[in-house]
Amino acid sequence: MSKRDFISVHDLTAAEFTGLLALAGEVKDQPGRFSQALAGQTLGMIFQKSSTRTRVSFEVGTLQLGGHALFLSSRDIQLGRGETISDTAQVLSRYVDGLIARTFDHQDVVDLARVGSIPVINGLTDDLHPCQVMADYLTLTEELGDLAGRKIAYIGDGNNVAHSLMFGAAKAGMHIAVASPAGYEVAEKYAALARDDAAAAGTEILLTDDPAAAAAGAHAVYTDVWASMGQEEEARQRLQDFEGFQVDAELMAEAASDAIFLHCLPAHRGEEVSAEVADGSQSRIFDQVENRLHAQNAIMLWLMGGAGLDTMVN
């Protein structure tokens, strides 16, 4: 059996997506059951971008599964500069049993997976953030139950989170609306792939510049920072360009009465979200944080621990 990687939610079948969420739920509910699943295995962790949630959750998760995590910062490994990506992938394949890579250039993760003989997990790139959205849809499943026919709204920058959320919506059978200011829309290549996924799933995608239209009737409203890592110099201009895109109580009122609020963090209260919403009764942002651990454990169990997903699918 050829090895699998976790690079994009788009690469998963709907059954695999559902199976991973079910497995994540099992891991969360019965942690002791999987405590030796990765015994004797090492997860290499390549980080070009710093992180709180990604590093801690993968290190803790690997330990919970009986394995060992090895952190490799940009000072430890010069990916694509001091050594070619091809050589890096082949060298690390001789030492560790799996890799998680958090990089700027999406192609770096693609190339690591293509050349390496071990499973590679995309911990975040400038294009995609699949581990985050697995946690998001796990949170949505816990809150809403069956996701089929539900609607999620994303308000803000058409970034890596927005791209992955679109893929996840189709796999979950959800409709999605994305509202971004002009010039900050989702990338067309990812929108096109998401439309293909939605067409196959019979779901709808709305891309708009109207936050209220996107939020209308939504069962979940999601946002992210307006200036992501590496965009700090654009922050002042973005504050102007994103005026009117804050998720506040008024915008949440456009959604369903029992809608929840989601954010991948870190959150800038007073910018993309009001403190009233971020810290209010509809917010589930810290449930998302916890679910990063469980969702990623499920991914590692699938790729490194030999967990089959077919038995997890209802």
Of the listed 53, 102, 106, 263, which one is catalytic? 102
Whole-number Å distance between alpha carbons of 62 and 79: 23
Determine which one of 48, 132, 288, 296 is catalytic.
Answer: 132
Q: Which tokens sit at 11?
A: 């690469």
Instruction: Tell me, yes or no, if 78 is annotated catalytic.
Output: no
Q: Which of 10, 106, 129, 294 is catalytic?
A: 129
Are 7 and 109 a contacting pair, CB within 8 Å?
yes
Phi, psi dihedrals of residue 128, rounded to the nearest 5°: -140, 155
- Separation between Cα atoms, residue 58 and residue 70, nearest integer Å: 10
131 is known as an active-site residue: no
> Is 292 among the residues known to form the active site?
yes
Please spell the DSSP secondary structure of 108-144, one letter per residue: HHHHHHHH-SS-EEEEE-SS--HHHHHHHHHHHHHHH
Angle at which helix 53-64 crosses helix 285-303, to 10 degrees, equals: 50
Exactly one of 64, 111, 264, 296 is catalytic; name it: 264
Question: 48, 224, 263, 294: which one is catalytic?
Answer: 224
Which residues are within 8 A (CB) of 265 and not within 5 positions of it... i.e. 6 or more apart?
53, 285, 288, 289
Active site residues: 102, 129, 132, 224, 264, 292
